[in-house]
Amino acid sequence: MKYSLISPTFGRPEEVTEFLESLLSQRHSDFEVVLGDGTPKDTLRPALKKYEENSTYSLTIIYQEYLPVSDARNEAAKVAKGEYLIFLDSDCLIPADYLNAVDTFLESQNVDLFGGPDAARDDFTNLQKAISFSMTSFLTTGGIRGKKQTVGTYHPRGFNMGIRKAVFEDVNGYDENFKCGEDIELSMRILEKGYTSAFIPEAHVFHKRRTSLGKFYQQVFRFGAARVNLWQKHPSELKLTHLFPLGFSIFAIISGLSFFGIFIAQGPIQQLSSLLFLMFGSYLVAVLWLSTLLNKSAAVGFMSIQTTLTMMFGYGWGFAKNFWAVKILNKKGGIKL
């Protein structure tokens, strides 16, 4: 067996069945699927029965009630037979040529760790497309999470992350003490041991993501908070780009307040207020224009302003709150994630 496709699952039967259904179309045949399931009372398994009997791939379900994400991945990896473990999220749909793209790349590049980008499919909702834009665009922090192609420095994410099984075992898999950011932490440990990584542009997945702005905010808040924990364990891995959402949030608040300065201030203060408000407005217009162009929809463009602001404020506030807890209050482990 060359590839073991692993996903942690917890309820969401429609989501998981869509994920497994998409894998029936894979044009590469040398793979299996292993799910680490923590669904209470084992209620997900009956909905997946037909996939355990399909002829395209072997499906194994490892079950333990309330199994956390990292634990689920580790338990699934223990029974996986593949030379490579590929971790995917259950809210992803996998294109038919996905494994062919991975296989072609690995035939020419000897790497231990790899990943690919995520994207929104044409039939996704406007909100899902807007969230995808905000999470992947170079106008946001998206430029550092799915576009970097420098071999040896790329940190794959758990939604689309492949690892040679021998390497996974050498670093003892996922750190089960990390409740968020565990995929990036694993990537960091692998690279720190001298193994190599690569970005495979053609190996993309369609990522359905969250279904509301509230859930999206909660997700990015946790991402921001997790970055502080990653910094604690891997001090050299905090980059200036990771501070961008917090800096943007502060700039956005100041720019919003500057609107009043345009009318009540005079002289240099009024000019500065006008400049700040113009800069902030120009950024939002750029988001609107680019998202509209890429998605061919003004509705998605306007919604992308909402999702971008949600992402920046959520991530920035999560980072700031956990930084205060860890660095100022010396709270071990930081805030609860």
- DSSP structure string for 15-29: HHHHHHHHHTT-S--
Are residue 21 and residue 166 in the same domain, yes or no?
Answer: yes
DSSP H or E stretch at residue 279: helix 267-295
- Region 326-336: mean pLDDT is 90
The mean per-residue pLDDT over the stretch 292-314 comes to 96
DSSP designation for 251: H
Give the span between the Cα atoms of 87 and 158, in whole angstroms: 6
Residue 3: which H helix or E strand, with range?
strand 3-9
Mean predicted confidence (pLDDT) in 34-58: 94
**Kind of pairing between the strands at 197-199 and 113-115:** parallel
Q: Is 91 a domain residue?
A: yes
> Are 202 and 289 part of one and the same domain?
no
What pLDDT score does 142 carry?
63
Q: For a pLDDT cut of 90, what percent of the chain falls above it? A: 75
47-79 residue pLDDT tens:
999 999 898 999 999 999 999 999 999 999 999
Phi, psi of 8 (to 5 degrees): -80, 140
Same domain? 48 vs 189 = yes
pLDDT, residue 332, reads: 85
Q: Residue 14 has what pLDDT?
A: 94
Could you identify the residue written with the tokens 């720190």?
Answer: 192
pLDDT at position 237 is: 80
Kindly report the number of other CB atoms within 10 A of residue 330's CB atom. 7
Regarding whether 186 and 63 lie in a shared domain, the answer is yes
Asked if residue 137 belongs to a domain, the reply is no
Q: What is the chain's mean pLDDT, rounded?
A: 91
Give the pLDDT mean for 256-285.
86
Minimum mean pLDDT range among 44-48, 58-62, 150-154, 181-185: 150-154
Distance CA 131, CA 312 (A): 12
User: Which stretches within 176-241 are classed as H helix?
Assistant: 182-192, 213-233
In a domain, 135, yes or no: no
| 12 φψ region: left (φ > 0), alpha (ψ -120 to 50), beta (else) | left
Q: Which of 38-42, 96-100, 243-247 has the lowest mean pLDDT?
A: 243-247
- The helix/strand/coil state of 84 is strand
**Is 198 in the same domain as 259?**
no
**Model pLDDT, residue 150:** 44
- Identity of residue 103: D
Q: Which of 209, 226, 254 is the C-terminal boundary of a domain?
A: 209
Residue 11 and residue 88 in one domain: yes
Expressed as residue numbers, the domain containing 246 is 240-328
Here the tokens at position 4 are 């073991």
What is residue 271's predicted lDDT score, i.e. its pLDDT?
87
If one compares 260 and 225, the residue with the highest pLDDT of the two is 225
Residues 251-274 have a mean pLDDT of 84
pTM value is: 0.89
Same domain, 84 and 179: yes
Q: Which pLDDT does position 144 carry in this prediction? A: 47
Three-state secondary-structure class, residue 294: helix
- Residue 333, pLDDT score: 83
pLDDT at 100 (0 to 100): 97
pLDDT beyond 80 at 145? no
- The mean pLDDT value for 234-246 works out to 84
Indicate the number of domains in the chain: 2
What is the CATH number for 176? 3.90.550.10
Min mean pLDDT across 62-66, 166-170, 263-267 is at 263-267
